Amino acid sequence: LATEQELSDFLKNVEKRAFKRSIYHVRDEEAALDIVQDSMMKLAQHYGDKPAAELPMLFQRILANTTLDWFRRRKTRNALFSNMSDFESPGEDGDFDLLETLESLTNSEGTESAQDATERAQILHEIELQVKELPGRQREAFLMRYWEEMDVAETAAAMGCSEGSVKTHCSRAVHALSKALSAKGIKL
């Protein structure tokens, strides 16, 4: 069973990626923080006594479901306030993190030439934009497979679909990203 330290280490390892993934989905910093916090609490409260090896899969599932819940709540709220658009604050389109990421990337690469750093930041910027543009299921499959480094079977279990679907989603995501980046003159 996972010890307190193992649970803490696991969360520490995944929290930043989880936040970024939530940002790609919901494009709202506060919402992404809420989603990650809720997911951490749910994992700890309901599955804190599970073996450490089961935590990654459980967390991915919880994160996906919590994100889905957020979209459902937002849909309900939007329906409720459809005639009261004043409640919506304008300009929350989520581009804050890109700017901050670019800035921190540029500042953190002391040994890199300024040109290299700028180029890297531009590539990251473009990748993040294109990842956000992917259809939800493709983005989820792609990020689980390649960012969370889960295998096809684990991704399928976390997404609640077949392994064939995961392969299809990943293949389409890679093609879409590759095509979009190539169009911008970016070769990885």
Partner 1 sequence: MTNSLQKRADILQDRFGLKTASYLSAGAADLPYDISERLRAARVQAVSSRKVAKTQPPAPSSATVAARRLPGAPTMA
Interface positions with partner 1 (CB under 8 A): 1, 4, 7-8, 11-12, 15-17, 19-20, 29, 33, 36-37, 40-41, 43-49, 97, 100-101, 104-105, 108, 120, 123-124, 127-128, 131, 142-143, 145-147, 149, 170-171, 174, 177-178, 188
| CA-atom Rg of the chain in angstroms | 18
Nearer to partner 1, 109 or 157 (CB): 109
Q: Which of 57, 55, 60, 56 is nearest to 36 (CA)?
A: 60
The whole-angstrom separation of Cα 139 and Cα 132 is 8
CB atoms under 10 Å from CB of 69, counted, come to: 12
Q: To the nearest whole angstrom, how small is the minimum distance from the Cβ of residue 105 to partner 1? A: 6
Q: To the nearest whole angstrom, how small is the minimum distance from the Cβ of residue 164 to partner 1? A: 14
The whole-angstrom separation of Cα 180 and Cα 185 is 9
Q: How far apart are the first and last CA of the chain?
A: 41
The whole-angstrom separation of Cα 173 and Cα 177 is 6
Q: To the nearest whole angstrom, how small is the minimum distance from the Cβ of residue 175 to partner 1? A: 8
Tokens representing residue 16 in the block:
């930043």
Q: To the nearest whole angstrom, how small is the minimum distance from the Cβ of residue 159 to partner 1? A: 16
The whole-angstrom separation of Cα 104 and Cα 96 is 12
Q: To the nearest whole angstrom, how small is the minimum distance from the Cβ of residue 64 to partner 1? A: 17
